[in-house]
Structure 1
């Protein structure tokens, strides 16, 4: 029969023909610097892919900043599980809000001229902590920044941050059902507060990734006011210290933030407001950007050429190592007797997936290459492909285990026969039909389901269900039989210890996606306690090969460069958004 995958490819071919008719096949011309006149089109030239600038290569325009104005972005779905990152039932959408309003203790130094891809430039500097230091391999001391004020919202009322806020936040974090926290990731021994400006974090063993836990990511924590313990409900109120203060949230309409007037960074932010209309349909988002209703947009690869054609005055800049880690994981129901309890069956599932075709399809890779744009695709193993420890299976870097990621129906059939299933395997597949996991999630699941079916080795019973049913049955309880398809794992960073711990250590509770394996958990503990970079790299490579052999989850896709579009009146984007500003002649500058 004609499967979803075949129909999807046909749609892509038809779309390419349409683009060619429109002249969309012309070489993409991208601008490498800004002009002084903000409303004029930047100079266009056909640049090699490496010449498309990264944000850090753009000029520092701070000295010419003009305060005021409202910038317009967008968000793709409602926040369905409450505002509290430590208790929400829908953490992916809540973390988007949290990152806009709350702050962590540390941050990665960034700005014009700072290439964070280079290890020597990866400096962890103070944010809500004025300073920090390792005093010995298991002890980190943080000094609290003075003059930090919370948003002026009752019952906190804009008071100054104190050490009790840190204490309450640590307590809430330790009590969270989400066990990817400082306590479990870093094996926390205790936290002491020797005086009103100092927090001492003591670990049970050296923890190599250390500082990044206090800077960003799902395993980090965001400082909340002490009133969250008894006088405010963080599920319904957002009161942080960030330069954006939540003004209002209207479900299915918008999130709007206004300037925090007592933000601790002098003279920041420059902008007065940030608007995030909730736009669930991709076509609507593209249309709104083309119409100038959004100031910034990151088009999907299949839309990139057309958006560039429709918005010729946009500045385009590159961002590297983008992409979640899609994993397909097994349910607990009937697991003791299921065919996939045998690693050879799990390996066979992996080998009927044509990863190259999937990845190139979703990234529109060939069409972009033909137009001079190289996204630098890198394929995931069980390690996020942006990790410094990642091994490239396409080059055989995993050794013998590289074969388990290659598309090889004949070898998959031999594995099933060796496991005792010469006639193939019946398997249930599960995914949800909501927008919560992004614009491509549903199509990605349907294509993977189709690949399993079309292999001739798996008789698939598909189960597309509602997001709420998926959240409780599939995600939280894993009360299903078979394979949940292409969950986009977003807890990734260049070290990836936190993501590994969450997926494969049972202490992470309902974040755990693997299968029980004490040897694997011991391997995880060994690498995180090894402070020598060379020895830790060796341990991480051994761990990566072990996961490839066990195939407890089935990873697909990889990381890639993306291209961000901004209208030319948005300035200073080499910096974090607290230093962005709008040119005086920006259309509708004040909203």
Structure 2
């Protein structure tokens, strides 16, 4: 394992220190200790004025949108077996509240709420129902009898409302001082935007109070890194993944540099899963991973490139291919405080000069879709079709766009790119992001012969996460696993105080528009605000270079039933997380 220090691999924090920090935290751990502090009964859930309606519905069988490739496997599931995935490395981050991603928790944990993987609508999870008495109050009911894994010191105890309240405070960053971490370490804090207090109402309900209306607050709880943990986990620490306790259908039981193994947890509130074991094994490179799938050593191959698709379809015509539209947004993000990149004209000139479709199709073929400012699965966002008409994306106006970019670069005082120099930090082990960086380098050096661009892959995932969250880079090449609410996603990445505003972008007009969008209750009002905002970002501010949405795609062995539960634009929350709903036939 890496020895690089990281927020996401920090060790133990004493209970005394954590609780001492809670005393001075507004809406912090002190709120989590106020059991029974509200004796009044909650009001009935509001309907007309509520930011999000009360809900108890669960996912149902559906017809899939046109254009998706979703094979359905018939037959009777036979309990047992191992789902095996090949990967170039094992998981490297174990605290999903502060880490870059959440691989361990996807296999072993639960979120408070889920987004429907096709529509983004709220789906119950550990929170089984909710009430909205007014636009600034949310009362969440915890599901009964949710058992934690049989790991000391929890030993299968019930996940309770104190745990639930603790998680909300921690995700919001209210425990940062007590844990000895910078507030910036809590990269999902903006998903809890406006949280004023967390109060335990009774043994099953928690009340969240906001400073003001937030029309999509509950959707912030669906972020796929906001997994629920027991309140003692901070004291136990996050360095040893075998000491992490969650509530999901699988428990991490083996972990070393070559593999991680998850074993069925029969006490899961979701019920006994069909598959006994999930195993992630380390295979040195992508070609070997594809070969392992072809030879049936692995169960699935996620994210096959166009070249891999042709190879596998030829070698294994019986393999099932799944593909749906995606929501992750690949990007290169400049540090807007760094050198020439602090000038919006330079950033815009670069955007005009790049050929985004050429880059995307090299990685994903025609399956890619395009986003301009925020991801296109949102109803408030620009569609892929609209984006392809914009400068930089419209192939029919490419020469004109380049000419305008050259003119703008010259006007900024950097004729031919002179004085524009930056290093692109590439996310560890990520081939598409490296390829995007190299193509940017090649395209821009043809147009601006004096520009200087260096592509530098990160040493490992942990160090990349620390550099990104610490805003210690010049340009980064990565992707964004989006939140299912447009206003929260926009605020998180573009507001001056956004917890994932890694590029340090700051603009007063931008902040004001984003604050209005967060407060908007009605979708149409929010859509109008974000339309103005997207136009401003794209035409004037350009704080990010938006590439494409890769498809959600995978090859699967033909005897696996139920893989469709991991498909859809919002499937990041469901992929592998719902292996317990899958099973082998025959």
Please tell me the TM-score bracket, short chain as reference.
0.7 to 0.9
Determine which of 476, 487, 497 is the counterpart of 1:507.
497
1:559-574 → structure 2 map (5 Å cutoff): 559-574=549-564
Tell me if structure 1 keeps the 8 A contact 2:79–2:274.
yes
Structure 2 stretches lacking a partner, 5+ long: 1-64, 177-182, 566-577
Match of 1:155 in 2: 153
Does 1:287 find its partner at 2:300? no
The Cα offsets for residues 229-249 of structure 1, whole Å up to 9 and x where unpaired, read as 43x223322210010110111
Match of 1:54 in 2: 70
1:263-274 → structure 2 map (5 Å cutoff): 263-266=268-271, 268-274=272-278
The Cα offsets for residues 93-120 of structure 1, whole Å up to 9 and x where unpaired, read as xx1222221211222356xxxxx24xxx
**Residue 150 of structure 1: how far off its partner (Å):** 0.5
**Residue 197 of structure 1: how far off its partner (Å):** 0.9
Match of 2:233 in 1: 228
The Cα offsets for residues 70-128 of structure 1, whole Å up to 9 and x where unpaired, read as 11123343333x4112344xx23xx1222221211222356xxxxx24xxxx5423211
Over the aligned positions, Cα root-mean-square deviation in angstroms equals 2.8
Distance 1:225 1:494 in 2: 25
* SS of match in other structure, 1:426: coil
* SS of match in other structure, 1:558: coil
Tell me if structure 1 keeps the 8 A contact 2:274–2:581.
yes
TM-score using structure 1 length:
0.76
**Residue 132 of structure 1: how far off its partner (Å):** 1.3
Determine which of 90, 97, 121 is the counterpart of 1:86.
97
Does 1:98 find its partner at 2:100? no
Does 1:277 find its partner at 2:284? no
* SS of match in other structure, 2:129: strand
Distance 2:306 2:109 in 1: 31
Q: How many residues align?
A: 492
Distance 1:473 1:172 in 2: 19
Does 1:444 find its partner at 2:460? no
Tell me if structure 2 keeps the 8 A contact 1:514–1:552.
no
* SS of match in other structure, 2:521: coil
Distance 1:181 1:60 in 2: 40
The Cα offsets for residues 373-408 of structure 1, whole Å up to 9 and x where unpaired, read as xx2x4222121233322224764798xxx3365542
TM-score using structure 2 length:
0.77
Match of 2:326 in 1: 321
1:3-402 → structure 2 map (5 Å cutoff): 53-54=69-70, 58=72, 64-80=76-92, 82-88=93-99, 91-92=100-101, 95-109=102-116, 116-117=118-119, 123-173=121-171, 174=173, 175-176=175-176, 177=183, 178-181=185-188, 185-218=192-225, 221-230=226-235, 232-236=236-240, 237-251=243-257, 253-266=258-271, 268-298=272-302, 299-330=304-335, 332=337, 335=338, 338-365=339-366, 375=367, 377-392=368-383, 395=386, 402=390
- CA spacing shift, 1:320–1:169, aligned 2, 3 Å: same
**Residue 60 of structure 1: how far off its partner (Å):** 7.4
Structure 1 stretches lacking a partner, 5+ long: 1-48, 111-115, 366-374, 585-591
Distance 2:500 2:188 in 1: 13
Match of 2:56 in 1: none
Distance 1:510 1:556 in 2: 16
Match of 1:550 in 2: 540
- CA spacing shift, 1:271–1:472, aligned 2, 3 Å: closer
Tell me if structure 1 keeps the 8 A contact 2:328–2:550.
yes
Tell me if structure 2 keeps the 8 A contact 1:75–1:278.
yes
Distance 1:239 1:126 in 2: 21
Distance 2:477 2:334 in 1: 8
**Residue 444 of structure 1: how far off its partner (Å):** 1.9
- CA spacing shift, 1:183–1:404, aligned 2, 3 Å: closer
Does 1:427 find its partner at 2:417? no
